[in-house]
Structure 1
Amino acid sequence: MNIGIDIGGTSIKAGVVKSGEVMKLERVKTPKEKEEFVFAVKNVIQYLLEEYPDVKGIGIGCPGPLDSEKGILLNTPNLPHNTDLGVLRKEFKMPVKFNNDANSFTLAEAVYGAGKDVKHVLGVTLGTGFGCGLVVHKNIYSGRGNAVEFAHTIINKNEEEKLPHLVRGCAEQYVSVVGLLRLASKYDLDVKNPFEIYQIATMKNEKALSVFKEFGRDLGIV
C-alpha cells in the first residue's frame, strides 16, 4: 500500500493505492506561499496515514523543472520557487520518491495503460501548465539538463503579451488552461473554465469550436 500525490498549480491530489486500486482520494487547493504549500502537502499525507497506517512509501509527481533526487522544486511556474519537499523524508520516516508529473503520467500509461503494447511513449499533460514525458523501453528518459521540458520552448516569437513566470511566446502560454482561456477571451466567450468551453462546443458553437481548433494547432506545433 502506497500514497501517490499529484502536485499541480491549482490543486494537490493525494490517494492511497493498494494493488492498483485507489482506496481513498483527497484534493486540496494549492497554496501560493512556500510555507503554506509545504504544510498543505504534509497535512494531506498525515491525514491519509491516520486512516491507512500500513502505507509503505510515498510517490510524488511535481511539475518541472525539479531536482528529483533532493525533492526540490526549482523555478517551477505556478508553484513557489525553490521549495524543498525533501523534508518529507525526515517527517514520515519512509521512502519518499519524487519525479516530474508528466514523467509519472507517461510511465503509468507506458506500463499499464494506452502504451503498454508499444516500445516508446511520449506523454503530454495539459493542466494549469504544460508538461511532457518520454518513456523508452518502459524506462523514463531523463537525458541531460532539461530534456523533454518543452514548456518554455518559444513557439511564437512575435507574441507581445508577457505572462508572469513564463517566457514570452512559450508553449505553456498557449497549450495550457491559461492558453485555452486566453483563446476563449479572444473569441468573446464568457467562460470560467475549460469545461464550459467544451459544453458550448458540444452545441456546435462556432466560436467554441474555433477555440479548440486553434488550441490543437498550437499543440501540434509544440
Structure 2
Amino acid sequence: AGLIGVELAEDLTAGGHRVTVLDLSERMLDRLAPAPLGSELGEHLAAKGVDFRPHSSLARLDHHADGRLKVTLTNGGELVTDEVISAMGLVPNTDLARRAGLVTNRGIVASLETMQASDNHVYAVGDCAEIQSRSYFFIEPIRRMAQTAAAHLAGELLPFEHRPAAIRVKTPSLPVMLCPPDRSQADLGRWVSQRVADGQRADFVSRGTLAGYALAGKAVSEHESLYRDVNRRTGR
C-alpha cells in the first residue's frame, strides 16, 4: 500500500468503516520506506482495525447475491464488500494537452527554467508536468514548480531543481515523514534503521553520504534539519 492506500485506510477506519487493504508487496509503503518502518505502520493501522492482506490483489469483481460486491483475489481468496476503492497511483491525463498540440510524453513536457510547455503561452505545473523525463506527485516539489512559473510570469528566473522529495504521510496513528533517495542514488546505497525515543529513524546512505531518510513517531521532529542536510550533501 502506497501513500493513497494507507491514508485512505486510516481515514475510513476512523470514520467507522471496516477496511481491508490488498497489496502485492510484503508491507505498507514498501516502495518508499525501509521494512521496519513499513511494518510498524502496519501494526498501528492493524490496531485501529485495518485488515492488511500482503501478496494479494484483485483478480475479479462480481455482484454478490445480497447486492454487495464479491472480490476474488489473485491468491484464490474471496471477500464480500460494499465498496472497492482503487489506490494504484497516478497517471497524468494528457488528452487535452495532446489535442491542443502540446508536446507530451508521460506528462506534459515542461521547461526546467520556466515550467512553460511547448507553447510558451501555456505553463504545466503539478502532477501533469514532466521535466527532463521526470514527473513529481508530491506537494513539496509541486509547490516549487508553481514558484518557478510565478517567477517567470513576474519577469524573473527561478529554475526548478530536481531534489529529493519531502513527503508527509497523513496517518495520525503513526506520524511518518519520508525523504526517499533520488532515483540516481536508489541502487547505490542502503537503509540503516534505528529505534529512537518514541519513534524510528532510518537513513539512506549512498557512498558514505546521507541521501534520504524515513522518520516515524516523535522522530518526525528531525525532518527539517535532515532535509537541509540531504540537500546540502547532494549538492542541491
Range into which the TM-score falls when normalised by the shorter chain: under 0.3
Q: TM-score, normalised by structure 2?
A: 0.24
Q: TM-score, normalised by structure 1?
A: 0.26
From the CA coordinates, give the structure whose radius of gyration is larger: 2
